[in-house]
Structure 1
Amino acid sequence: MARIKERLGKDGKPNYTAEIRLKGFKPKAKTFKRLTDAKKWIQDKESDMRNGRDFNTSEAKKHTVAEVIDRYLADVAPNKFKPNELRIRGPILEWWKTEIGYLRLSDLSITDFVTCRDKLVNHGGNKGRPLAAATVKRHFVAIGHVLKICHLEWRWMAKNPLKDGIIEMPELPRGIVRFLDDGELSRLTTACKESPNPLLYPAFVLAISTGMRQSETMNLYWREPETTPTETAWGVVNLAESCIILHATKNGERRRVPLANQALAELNKLAKVRRLDTQLVFPSPTHPHKPIELKKAWTNALKTAEVNNFRWHDLRHCTASYLAMGGASLVEIAAVLGHKTLDMVKRYSHLSDGHIANVVERMNAKIFGGA
């Protein structure tokens, strides 16, 4: 809402005070000698306020990048991110404080960020080693969110200098697709089944059958815990409906994971012999309220099966690869893995070439008839 008040000055001539009151903004007022100037000011100022261009220039001159980061870490980050993400972002933002913390917001320029990017690429971050492209990008994601809050919520900056990806990032390497061939799958399945650790085999079956991330698999509960877990990913098993409901995932959305065949059978077996002092599906034998650590058992199984260059996370690649080779579309693979976009699953597209060829062949046969 805006209005103009007319008052007579000491010289007997009228003055015009323009006032603006918009929800979410502090009231603004300015006095003019001409009515047309007052109307134009209201028009321009309201446009700036509605489109995010209105800010206090004195704030940009008053605050340094270090002060902004400190406020962000104290007031924003704890409410925005889980503990694991905070442990990652904290050191990254401390690195930014070391590099450009002394600069005032009004003095920030693209050149400062280009210099920092080149330093990360060539000399590295806190450990002094050149960083991978993905890590460099993570540094800019972290500081970019700080500047976004500073611009849009605190109104300390006219604009976010990192908005719209104006700085070119180093090219990310193509994702590696490592999945088990038939022989490796058979040997590793046997090795996990014969492992002295009784939880390795059901965890292995569940991971490769559903495509769930390791954190999602390890932080499964038999029923809703009384207090919300602090883990970045956790879910609940629903045997009655043959599914798992992941309440917290990497992309922040809930996901329903169907259970079938061996995975469902293994969870039913575990349910019959599960511990009563914890709700975790895969609890630690010594600390039942924490997930079990399978690293040693997993490493031994890989060695026994003679499977090299393979990580637990690659079980997720196995799921996607087998789905692709079975004729699943990229959209379906993305739904199973819990990806919001198709970019992450395009790496599996070549594995479905045979299925695509059959689709094209059937389409041509329908249109033109058999040869």
Structure 2
Amino acid sequence: MQKPVKRGNSYRIQVRYKDLRDTATRDTARECEQWAATRLLELKAQYSNLITLQEKPPYPFRSLFEKYYLEVGRHKRGYTYIKQQLSAFDRYFGDMTQMSIHDITPQKVTKWRNDRLKEVSSGTVQRQMCLYCSIFNYAKNELFLIAENPFAKVAKPLKPKPRNRLISADEINKILAASNYKSGTTPSTPGQYVAWAFLFAMETAMRRGEIIGVTCNNIYKDYIHLPITKNGDSRDVPLSKEARALLDLVPHKDRVKLIPHNDNSFRLCWQRTLKKTGLSGLIHFHDTRHVAITNFVNKRKLPVEILAKVTGHRDIKTLINTYYNPNASDIAKMMNA
């Protein structure tokens, strides 16, 4: 640090650290020295930050996503969703896919969220943000590439209200007709197996993925054992006479899996069926779970604590508020029965 130099009625001082420098003019030499001492500390901190930034090579978001999938994502139970998101990442995230993770800020994430909400539902954006947040947590906590997670600082959209739609008898008939499947017959084509699974789901309240994943060695006389379910636990699904009759239509003595479908082939067949019937966007396969649970209460008269065992719900509130949807007339009939 140079000494103050008198210039007319004032003093001028210059401070330098490495390649950084600054100057100031003050009324007295003492004021110059005080300023210089403070400014020197600031220049040292500024230089340190520059070095830190220079030591961070660009790391594209896409590269991080690919590494996350290989190291973490493909080992998760929901790997199919993560893989699908990765394959369509450029379409979902635009130019930011090639942006360095060091340059992605909460402000940029907020803009992406708002733009994305104009294209898809809040539920879709929330699920994507949860995935991206996990990826950045991996970069922060496992790879030590970043100090802060920009997705953790941005509010996620509110969850949409749970669906409460029941499938009508007419809609069931349309789906069976579009699949060329007649109730009570043995399915043979991929589309017919989807139609059979549709009926089976409405008798058991099993999820689509649970039906697809059933192996024949886990089928017993009056129940199906599911080694792992959505909440991570195993579950035994009791079979009604109607469900057992449907199960007996499918030969399962000479095969490993109950139905010859994986997640993707089942999804494509189901979407083609809905398109034929004009029900695309109106009916979801998961609506069969609403139908089954409503029938368990209205027709089978199952109490809620038993119903939770059947459906695999840990939280009875979720079961009551999301899946069981009686209307006022239904409740009145129960009261007067």
Q: Quote the residue 2:148 is aligned against.
A: 159
- Which residue, out of 336, 345, 351, partners 2:326? 351
Provide the C-alpha distance between the structure 2 equivalents of 1:65 and 1:300, rounded to a whole number of angstroms: 38
Q: Map 1:294-333 onto structure 2 (within 5 A).
A: 310=283, 312-325=285-298, 328=302, 332-333=306-307
- The 2-side partners of 1:194 and 1:135 are apart by 37
Tell me if the contact between 2:165 and 2:290 (Cα under 8 Å) persists in the aligned partners.
yes
Q: Could you list the runs of 5+ residues in structure 2 that have no partner in the other structure? A: 1-51
- The answer to whether the aligner puts 1:260 opposite 2:240 as a matched pair is yes
Change (3 A) 1:157 1:59: farther
- Is contact 1:282-1:292 (8 Å) kept? no
* SS state at 2:244 partner: helix
Following the alignment from structure 1 to structure 2, what is the Cα–Cα distance between the partners of residues 77 and 300? 32
SS at match of 2:182: helix
Structure 2 Cα separation of the partners of residues 170 and 325 of structure 1: 32
Distance (Å, rounded) in 2 between the aligned partners of 1:150 and 1:176: 39
Q: Hey, what does 2:59 align to over in structure 1?
A: 64
Residues 280 and 310 of structure 1: is their aligned pair in 2 closer, same or farther, counting only changes over 3 Å? same
What residue number does 1:98 align with? 95
Deviation at 1:116, TM superposition (A): 0.6
| Counterpart Cα distance in 1 of 2:72 and 2:137 | 12
Q: What stretches of structure 1 of length at least 5 have no aligned partner? A: 1-56, 123-129, 224-235, 362-371
Q: 1:119 matched to which residue of 2?
A: 115
CA contact (8 A) 1:222 1:279 kept: yes
Alignment RMSD, CA only? 4.6
In structure 2, give the amino acid aligned to 1:150: A
Range moving further from structure 2, 146-155 or 69-78:
69-78
Q: Give how far 1:82 is off.
A: 5.3
1:245 aligns with 2:225: yes
**Secondary structure of the equivalent of 1:142?**
helix
Following superposition, the deviation at residue 159 of structure 1 comes to: 3.2
The answer to whether the Cα contact below 8 Å between 2:186 and 2:249 also exists between their aligned partners in 1 is: no
Q: Match for residue 133 of structure 2? A: 144
Structure 1 residues 264-304: Cα deviation after superposition (integer angstroms, max 9, x where no partner)? 2443564xx5463x2232348xx9xx98997599779989x
**Residue identity matched to 2:73:** A
2: CA distance, partners of 1:152 / 1:166: 19
Once the two structures are superposed, what CA deviation does each residue of 1:199-224 show, in whole Å capped at 9, x if it has no partner? Answer: 7686455322211122322332211x
- Show the counterpart of 2:163: 175
Aligned to 1:337: 311
Q: CA deviation at 1:143?
A: 0.8
1:179 and 1:82, CA in 2 relative to 1: closer, same or farther beyond 3 A?
Answer: closer
CA contact (8 A) 1:60 1:104 kept: no
From 176, 189, 193, give the equivalent of 2:183: 193
Percentage of matched positions with identical amino acids: 17
Between the aligned partners of 2:298 and 2:167, the Cα distance in structure 1 is 12
What is the CA-CA distance between 1:58 and the residue it aligns to?
6.8
Aligned length: 271
- Secondary structure class of the residue paired with 2:326: helix
Q: Which amino acid aligns with 2:258?
A: V
> TM-score under structure 1 normalisation?
0.56
Asked if the contact 1:151–1:160 (Cα under 8 Å) also holds between the matched residues in 2, the reply is yes
Aligned equivalents of 2:144, 2:174: Cα separation in 1 = 60
